[in-house]
Amino acid sequence: MKIGGLLLLLSGWAIVVAALLLLHSGALSAFIVAGFAVEILGLALFAKAHVLISKDNG
């Protein structure tokens, strides 16, 4: 779960960078927002993994 979160964070950033390198104008903004949304999902997953670890440790 933790690794999944980290990978989603990195993937989101990769989407943002790819959009900057490959796209222009309207599509660019849409893909940047999409990449950012993927990062938020990754961050939520990453945080959730730590909450579970914290609960397991008592």
All residues at 6 or more sequence positions from 50 whose CB lies less than 8 Å from its CB, including other chains? 2
User: How many residues of this chain bind other proteins (CB under 8 A)?
Assistant: 28
Is residue 1 part of the contact set for other proteins (CB under 8 A)? no
Secondary structure letter of residue 40 according to DSSP? H
Is residue 50 part of the contact set for other proteins (CB under 8 A)? yes
Is residue 41 part of the contact set for other proteins (CB under 8 A)? no
Q: Which helix (H) or strand (E) holds 4?
A: helix 2-22
Q: Least distance (Å) from other proteins to the CB of residue 46?
A: 8
Is residue 18 part of the contact set for other proteins (CB under 8 A)? no
